[in-house]
Structure 1
Amino acid sequence: MKKIKYGMIGGGIGAFIGDAHRRAARLCNDFELVGGVFDVDYERSKEFALQEDIALGRCYESVDLLIEKELQLAEDQRMKVVTIVTPNTLHFPFAKKLLNSGFHVICEKPMTITVEEAVELESLVIEKQLTFALTHTYTGYPMVRQMRDLISEGHIGIVQRVDAQYYQGWVNNIIHSSENRIGKFWKLDSRQTGISGCLGDIGVHAFNLAEYVTGKQVKEVLSDLNTLKEEIELDVDGTVLLRFGDNLKGVIRASQVCAGEENNLSIGVYGSKGSLTWSQENPNFLTLKTLTEPIRIYKPAHTYNGDFAERSHTMKAGHPEGYYEALANIYVGVRKSIKGEEINAGEYPTVHDGVRGMKFIHAVVNSHKTGNSWISINQ
Structure 2
Amino acid sequence: MKRLRYAMVGGGQGAFIGAVHRKALALDGQAELVAGALASTPERAHASGRELGLADDRNHADWQALLDDELKRPADERIDFVSIVTPNHLHYPVAKAFAEAGLHVVCDKPLVHTSEQAAELARIVERSGSVFGVTYNYGGYPMVREARALVQSGAIGDIRKVVVEYHQGWLATKLEDGGDNKQAAWRTDPARSGAAGALGDIGSHAENLVATVTGLETERLCADLGTFVPGRRLDDDASMLLRFRGGARGVLVVSQIAAGCENGLRLRVFGTTGTLDWRQEEPNTLLHAPLDGPPRLLTRGSPWLSESARLATRLPAGHPEGFIEAFANVYLGVIAHIRALQQGAAPDPMLADYPTLADGARGVRFIERALESAASVQKWTDF
Range of TM-score over shorter length: over 0.9
Q: 1:181 to 1:42 in 2, by over 3 A?
A: closer
Q: Which residue of 2 aligns with 1:246?
A: 246
Kept after mapping to 2: 8 A contact 1:223/1:372: no
Q: How does 1:349-368 map to 2 (within 5 A)?
A: 349-368=355-374
Q: How does 1:213-362 map to 2 (within 5 A)?
A: 213-229=213-229, 231-340=231-340, 341-344=347-350, 347-362=353-368
User: In structure 2, what is the Cα distance between the partners aligned to 1:288 and 1:375?
Assistant: 33
Alignment partner of 2:218: what SS?
coil
User: In structure 2, what is the Cα distance between the partners aligned to 1:372 and 1:29?
Assistant: 52
* TM-score, with length taken from structure 2: 0.95
Kept after mapping to 1: 8 A contact 2:144/2:278: yes
* TM-score, with length taken from structure 1: 0.96
User: In structure 2, what is the Cα distance between the partners aligned to 1:200 and 1:279?
Assistant: 20
Q: Does 1:375 align with 2:373?
A: no
Kept after mapping to 1: 8 A contact 2:50/2:59: no
Name which of structure 1's ranges 131-140 and 46-55 shifts more when overlaid on structure 2: 46-55
Q: How many angstroms does 1:75 deviate by?
A: 1.4
Q: Deviations over 1:277-303 (max 9, x none)?
A: 000000001000012111111111111
Q: Deviations over 1:56-105 (max 9, x none)?
A: 11011222211111112121211110000011010000000000111100
Q: How many angstroms does 1:180 deviate by?
A: 11
User: In structure 2, what is the Cα distance between the partners aligned to 1:19 and 1:366?
Assistant: 35
Task: Look up the equivalent residue of 1:223 and give its one-letter code.
Answer: A
Alignment partner of 2:76: what SS?
coil
Q: Deviations over 1:134-184 (max 9, x none)?
A: 0000000000000000001000011000000000000023259799999x8
User: In structure 1, what is the Cα distance between the partners aligned to 2:199 and 2:284?
Assistant: 26
Q: Deviations over 1:221-278 (max 9, x none)?
A: 1000101245322110010110102220001000000000000001000000000000
Q: 1:76 to 1:172 in 2, by over 3 A?
A: same
RMSD: 1.8
Unaligned runs of 5+ in 1: none
- Matched residues, percent identical? 39
Aligned length: 376
Q: 1:201 to 1:165 in 2, by over 3 A?
A: same
User: In structure 1, what is the Cα distance between the partners aligned to 2:202 and 2:294?
Assistant: 33
User: In structure 2, what is the Cα distance between the partners aligned to 1:346 and 1:47?
Assistant: 35
Q: How does 1:169-248 map to 2 (within 5 A)?
A: 169-174=169-174, 185-229=185-229, 231-248=231-248
Q: How many angstroms does 1:346 deviate by?
A: 7.5
Kept after mapping to 1: 8 A contact 2:173/2:229: no
Q: Which residue of 2 aligns with 1:45?
A: 45
Q: Which residue of 1 aligns with 2:69?
A: 69
Q: How many angstroms does 1:368 deviate by?
A: 0.5
Q: How does 1:92-111 map to 2 (within 5 A)?
A: 92-111=92-111
Q: Which residue of 1 aligns with 2:56?
A: 56
Alignment partner of 2:91: what SS?
helix
